[in-house]
Each structure stands twice: as structure tokens, then as C-alpha cells.
A = this chain, B = another copy of it.
């Protein structure tokens, strides 16, 4: 039996208490305004235990969603080549990850995020602070335009995930990955470097 006291050091129960507290606080107050100390207090554990289990607040956030890749390592790899051909590079990495077994986890994650307003908020906060913010920082975009550019990129990639991997709309669902990259890459490129004016 799993007890909900949340005090036993390192038990599955303790980890779940911490993850529950983190989910609630990240969704309610946002990532930046939530401290590890506040999560520890909410879960009734020592902050050192959180550091021991997850290392950083970023890793803890990733664990709350069981997010299948590490944005801190994946994003710098994609953005390393700069803005030229970022569209094709980003599309290629996105399709490679989603075509792999990780895609199944990704589909489950998106589907469960849709289940209620609270999980949607948590997902939006993750997307904003863990993914898009890193892309903006790495890509040296005009700070005034960057948030709109990356949210447009997110719209095309989220829709690709939905149609190719979740709804599985043909022929997009079975299209060879190279063709997907060729077709969607220029859209992403335009959102990153094209004009935002009419």
C-alpha cells in the first residue's frame, strides 16, 4: 500500500508528493515565481531531497510532465547552426524525434495535456519557459519579434504532431520524413526569419 504521508525519505510516495506539489505550483504561479523551497514546503520535505532527486528546478519541471527529451541539451544542438536553414534543421529534428519511439510518449503527453485546463496551463508554462525561451535565447532574434516568431513555429509543429502522429491523417501520416522536412521546413524558416509585416 502507498501511504500519502509524504515524509519517508526517497519512497515512491515522497517523489509523487513532490511532483504533485511542483505541478500545482508551476501551473498556478508559473515556473519563474516558484522556488524549489516552496515546492519542498508544500510537499513537506527538505529542499535538499528535491536537489538530490532531480538536480535542478528545470529537471524537476521536466519530470512533472515526464517530458521525453531534454530541452536543455536538444535545443542548443538544433540552434547551433544559427538562423540560416533553421527551418529545415528544426523540422528534421522534430520529425526524427517524433518518428522514434519517443513520439508515442509525445502523443500521450499532448493528449493528456488536453484533458483539463490545469494540465493545459502546465503544458503552456513548460512550452514557454523550457522550450521557446531557450530557442529565443539561442537564436539571437530581435527581442520584440521573438515571442511571436516562436509561437508561430510552435503552431506549425504542434499541428504537424497532431495530424501526422496523433490523428494520423493520410497521406501526411505515412509520408517519408525527408518529404515532411522539405514541405514544412520553409514554413518554419519564414516564421523565424521572414517579414512579420503585411
Chain A contact residues, CB within 8 Å of chain B: 110-111, 113-115, 120, 123-124, 127-128, 147-148, 151-152, 154-160, 162-164, 166-172, 175, 182-184, 186-187, 190-191, 196-198
Contacts and interface: CB of A to CB of B under 8 A. Distances in A.
A184 B196 CA distance: 10
A190 B171 CA distance: 17
A148 B175 CA distance: 9
Contact of A187 (B147, B190, B198): B190
9 contacts: A111-B115, A113-B167, A114-B114, A151-B163, A151-B172, A154-B163, A154-B172, A155-B159, A159-B159
Nearest to A145: B171
A155 B162 contact: yes
B155 A160 contact: yes
Nearest to A181: B198
A198 B197 CA distance: 27
A182 B170 contact: no
Given A151-B163, A155-B163, A183-B191, 6 more contacts: A147-B171, A158-B167, A159-B160, A162-B162, A186-B190, A187-B187
A182 B198 contact: yes
A187 B151 CA distance: 15
A45 to B, nearest CB: 31
A82 B50 CA distance: 59
